[in-house]
Amino acid sequence: MRLMFQKANSDLDYTQYKLEYEMKTNYPDLAGKKNPELLAIKSQYKTLHPCFKPITAKQKETKNYVCATQTDLELSPWTKEEKTAEEQLKSHRSDL
């Protein structure tokens, strides 16, 4: 999950750079002005990222425990809610 947030933040940085370049190129009179929506999104990601650190640590701990205690682990199929959450996450990432 931490990697997802790092990638999302990197994607936002790239998008910001690209937008600023496009603004300088196509609208020189607006150059130097920051996009408030993009800044708000980046701020939200920076706020959310620390909230997921404990979850990431717990996931790693759980994975290590399962790997240490189970060698023949058979995963059950995802529930409908898990599939929906995955689709929403994929959709959200593709929107960025």
- Convert the pLDDT of each residue in 9-49 to its tens digit: 788 788 878 877 877 787 777 666 676 777 787 788 778 77
Domain, as residue range, for 17: 2-95
pLDDT at 40: 81
Confidence of residue 92 (pLDDT cuts 50, 70, 90): confident
CB 1 within 8 A of CB 62: no
Q: Which residues contact 23 (CB under 8 A, 6 or more apart)?
A: 30, 31, 33
In this structure, what DSSP letter does residue 93 have?
H
In this structure, what DSSP letter does residue 32 have?
T
How many angstroms separate the first and last alpha carbons of the chain?
16
3-state secondary structure of 34: coil
Domains held by the chain: number:
1
pLDDT at 94: 63
- Convert the pLDDT of each residue in 38-79 to its tens digit: 778 778 877 877 777 787 778 888 888 877 776 666 677 888
**The CA-based dihedral angle spanning residues 56, 57, 60, 64, taken in that order and rounded to the nearest 10 degrees:** -170
